[in-house]
Amino acid sequence: MPVKVIDQLPAVEALSAENVFVMTESRAAAQDIRPLRVAILNLMPNKIATEIQLLRLLANSPLQLDIELLRIDDHVSKHTPESHLNCFYRYFSDVQHQKYDGLIITGAPLGLVDYEDVTYWQQFGEILRWADTHVTSTLFLCWAAHAALYHYYGLQREIRGEKLSGVYWQQVLQPLSPLVRGFDDQFLVPHSRYAQVPKQRYQQHDDLHILAEADVTGAYLLQNSSGSRIFVTGHPEYDVTTLDDEYKRDVAASIAARVPENYYRNNDPLQGPQKLWQSHAFLLFSNWLNYYVYQATPFDINQIGRK
């Protein structure tokens, strides 16, 4: 949460120069507070596991959040009981008239499928167009990030010769961005994907800003100029065992799977995985909620999208 101080305090100017957010008394007096409405469009097969991962990160914020779980219309989930979906999820068509302060769209196991061949691609695009006028800020994870970059900017991905799987160091490029506030210069993030967009394609769009990247993973964290779209090409939400589960699944399916890099102790699957990215994940979600949702959204939620 921001620090509130007297308007004329000299520290305000000094901290502002460092891009540290300080709320003056005059601004604080004009603020009203209400719970933030955050929707999660869960595209992952094991929706229950993903719910736990995301809610763990969201719950780390002192802000009060009202969470709504969404699903694609007419899409059958093969790995989550229908009873669970009927009880806890709402179809997008049932909420498209509503507005939300924040939206999270998860990844999906569609890394080798052409976007237009995805069975729900048409509604995915409809949801993104809806979010532009009904959501203050949207956070896209992994497949959803690349799919949204294609939808908004026409950025076509390239398919790697082999799957990128492991935990990789990322370098902060824009340390004054509120989204990476408090980050170390380098931090670790899990990745699990085939797709990658060359950096020069991002650089063709003035509205896109790369905040963190690595040579092996490419751009990891991007945003548009307004902060209404946040693109995360990795999986900071992953549990400690998620990459291990994926690796064992691929091995059991006789898929030529490489051992996830920098993940197991001494790079030995028999010694088990270690979680080295949790602090970054908590900070990323906290910064997004604070600076791009809470500080940006209007008190009257019905004013979202109005000029």
pLDDT digits (tens, 9 = 90+) for 223-258: 999 999 999 999 999 999 999 999 998 888 877 788
Q: Is the pLDDT of residue 15 over 70?
A: no
Q: Give yes or no for residue 3 having a pLDDT over 60.
A: no
Question: Domain containing 71 — which CATH number?
Answer: 3.40.50.880
Is 37 annotated in a binding site? The answer is no
Tokens of 57: 């990160």
What is the span of the domain harbouring residue 257? Answer: 36-296
Is 142 a catalytic site residue? yes
pLDDT in tens, 153-205: 999 999 998 899 999 999 999 999 999 999 999 999 999 999 999 999 999 99
* 307 part of a folded domain: no
13 is catalytic: no
SS3 string, 74-120, reads CCCCCCCCHHHHHHHEEEHHHHCCCCEEEEEECCCCCCCCCHHHCCC
Residue 184 lies in a domain: yes
How many domains does the chain fold into? 1
pLDDT in tens, 85-110: 888 889 999 999 999 999 999 999 88
126 flagged as catalytic: no
Judge whether 286 is annotated as a binding position. Answer: no
Q: Residue written as tokens 């370098």?
A: 171
Sign for the CA dihedral angle at 164, 168, 173, 176 comes to positive
Is 229 known to sit in a ligand binding site? Answer: no
In a domain, 30, yes or no: no
Domain presence at residue 23: no
| Direct distance between the N- and C-terminal alpha carbons of the chain, in angstroms, rounded to an integer | 27
Residue 6 lies in a domain: no
Q: Domain for residue 153, yes or no?
A: yes
Q: How distant, in Å, are the alpha carbons of 8, 12, 19, 112, 290 from that of 22?
A: 12, 7, 9, 45, 12
What is the band of 30 on the pLDDT scale with cuts at 50, 70, 90?
low
Assigned domain for 14 exists: no
Minimal CA–CA distance to 105: which of 144, 71, 146? 144
